[in-house]
């Protein structure tokens, strides 16, 4: 709150200083005794330049019409100023060179370099800088020492303002790139969540539905546990989707904390609710595996088990024995999922997945400095092994 109020005070001070300098220009132009109201010759060009420049600089951002782009704002006042300078040289008239017009052109140079599109930034910035640098020669074509001194000061001011605006523009670009990368990484994380959680539950629903159809004719009395598993998987899928959609709709940075996550305790729930009739799933967890492992390690272990079980449903539904192991190997957590399936599955081709699960899983594991390996076992079946 203090920084916002300080910024508002600084902006108000700058606006007041600009208005005061512009008033000085107009008063100085009418210092020969000519009234401002009749718009005498010395006052009219100065007043025109000041009004056009102030409108370009101070027009509220929320009320600017669509045609008042940064290009128009910065180019038109510079052209008006340059035309006044050219007219003073042609008629050898007395036109004021005051602080207000200098500050306006410097402000417009700042706007051009920082906010105009790249090509227009060069064009409009050159117009503003050129209009500023030709101010000292108004009504005097001879380059006296005073004029040369003013030109040097003008060059220094142009360099300082353009350099500051260019630096801030580069900071804006870096911030934009950082925000874009953050959004991209968040979208990838959400996509991984959709794959890991929703696909896991939906695949389970599909497999158990097929089992229920087969049992409907042979073992109708044993259908209730299968239907209960389908109901549970559907409920969990809806909950995961609801959380993920909530993240997508959320605008606050802390929304990322609401993405569905997992830990070592969740692995037991996965194993407990995975088996279908005819399957045996065993969780073997060494007592040396601590409950206080870093959160990211537990989440990665959970995803390894979840993706492995999902792949078993997709590609080895005929597996009868599945073993999930968690053990501590000299300070490293080793997670393995092994099955005795022979690759028999009756899932539709559309349910087999796109092959991105293990790719994303390997990225997640290696990001933690771990290793992931997946391949056939010695005899039959498949094994996924991760070292975290």
Tell me the three-class secondary structure of 7-75, residue by residue: HHHHHHHHHHHHHHHHHHHHHHHCCCCCCCCCCCCCHHHHHHHHHHHHHHHHCCHHHCCCCCCHHHHHH
Q: Alpha carbon 354 to chain centroid distance?
A: 27
Q: Which two tokens stand for residue 177?
A: 């790139």
Asked whether the CA dihedral 246, 192, 276, 387 is positive or negative, the reply is negative
Number of Cβ within a 10 Å radius of residue 336: 19
b/e 105-134 (16+ beta carbons within 10 angstroms → b): bbbbbbbbbbbbeeebbeebbebbbebbbb
Task: Establish if 104 belongs to a structural domain.
Answer: yes
Strands 321-329 and 280-285: parallel
Task: Establish if 55 belongs to a structural domain.
Answer: yes
Closest CA to 158 of 119, 120, 121, 129: 129
| Three-class SS of 244-268 | HHHHHHCCCHHHHHHCCCCCHHHHH
What does the pLDDT look like over 9-32, one tens digit per residue? 777 778 888 888 778 877 776 655
Task: Establish if 297 belongs to a structural domain.
Answer: yes
Inter-residue contact 139 to 93 (CB < 8 Å): yes
* Phi then psi dihedrals of residue 137, to 5 deg: -95, 10
Number of Cβ within a 10 Å radius of residue 229: 22
Task: State which of 125, 142, 159 marks the end of a domain.
Answer: 142
- Of the CA atoms within 13 Å of residue 193, those in its CB half-sphere come to 24
Task: State which of 142, 168, 200 marks the end of a domain.
Answer: 142
Task: Establish if 278 belongs to a structural domain.
Answer: yes
- pLDDT per residue as tens, the chain (388 positions): 445 566 667 777 788 888 887 788 777 766 554 433 343 455 777 788 888 988 888 888 888 888 989 999 999 999 998 888 888 777 765 556 778 888 999 999 999 999 999 999 999 999 999 999 988 877 555 555 677 888 888 899 999 999 999 999 999 899 888 877 766 776 676 666 666 666 666 776 777 777 777 777 777 777 777 777 777 777 766 766 666 666 555 544 444 444 455 788 888 888 887 777 778 889 999 988 888 787 778 888 888 888 888 888 777 778 889 999 999 888 889 999 999 887 765 555 554 555 556 777 787 788 778 899 888 887 788 899 999 9
Number of Cβ within a 10 Å radius of residue 287: 7
Contacts of 382 (CB under 8 A, 6+ apart): 311, 312, 315, 316, 338, 339, 341, 374, 375, 376
What does the pLDDT look like over 28-60, one tens digit per residue? 766 554 433 343 455 777 788 888 988 888 888
Task: Establish if 90 belongs to a structural domain.
Answer: yes
| Residue for token pair 């006296």 | 144
- Can you give the CATH number for the domain in which 372 is found? 3.30.565.10
Number of domains in the chain: 2
Q: Which domain holds residue 367?
A: 264-388
Task: Establish if 191 belongs to a structural domain.
Answer: no
Task: Establish if 255 belongs to a structural domain.
Answer: no
Task: Establish if 388 belongs to a structural domain.
Answer: yes
Task: State which of 91, 124, 142 marks the end of a domain.
Answer: 142
């Amino acid at each position: 709150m203090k920084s916002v109020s300080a910024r508002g005070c600084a902006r108000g001070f700058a606006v007041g200083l600009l208005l005061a300098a512009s008033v000085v220009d107009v008063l100085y132009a009418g210092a020969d005794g000519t009234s401002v109201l009749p718009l005498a010759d010395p006052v009219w060009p100065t007043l025109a330049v000041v009004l056009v420049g102030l409108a370009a600089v101070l027009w509220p951002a929320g009320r600017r019409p669509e045609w008042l782009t940064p290009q128009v704002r910065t180019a038109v006042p510079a052209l008006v100023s340059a035309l006044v300078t050219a007219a003073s040289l042609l008629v050898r008239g007395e036109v004021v060179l005051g602080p207000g017009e200098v500050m306006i052109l410097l402000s417009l140079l700042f706007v051009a370099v920082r906010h105009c599109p790249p090509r227009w930034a060069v064009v409009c910035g050159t117009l503003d800088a050129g209009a500023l640098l030709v101010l000292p020669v108004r009504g005097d074509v001879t380059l006296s020492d005073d004029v040369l001194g003013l030109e040097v000061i003008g060059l220094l001011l142009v360099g300082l303002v353009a350099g500051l605006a260019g630096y801030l523009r580069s900071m804006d670009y870096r911030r934009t790139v950082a925000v874009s990368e953050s959004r991209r990484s968040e979208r990838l994380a959400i996509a991984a969540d959709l794959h890991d959680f929703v696909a896991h539950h939906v695949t389970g629903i599909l497999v158990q539905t097929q089992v229920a159809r087969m049992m409907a004719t042979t073992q109708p009395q044993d259908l209730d546990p299968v239907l209960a598993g389908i109901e549970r998987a559907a409920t969990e899928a809806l909950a995961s989707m609801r959380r993920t959609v909530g993240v997508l709709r959320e605008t606050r940075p802390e929304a990322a904390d609401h993405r569905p996550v997992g830990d070592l305790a969740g692995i037991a729930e996965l194993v407990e609710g995975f088996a279908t009739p005819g399957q045996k799933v065993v969780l073997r967890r060494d007592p040396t595996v601590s409950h206080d492992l870093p959160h990211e390690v537990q989440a990665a272990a959970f995803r390894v088990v979840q993706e492995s079980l999902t792949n078993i449903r997709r590609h080895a539904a005929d597996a009868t024995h599945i073993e999930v192991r968690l053990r501590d190997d000299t300070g490293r957590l080793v997670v393995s999922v092994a099955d005795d399936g022979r690759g028999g599955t009756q899932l539709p081709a559309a349910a087999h997945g796109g092959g991105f699960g293990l790719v994303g899983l390997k990225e997640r594991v290696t990001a933690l400095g771990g290793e992931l390996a997946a391949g056939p076992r010695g005899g039959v079946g498949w094994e996924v092994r991760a070292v975290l």
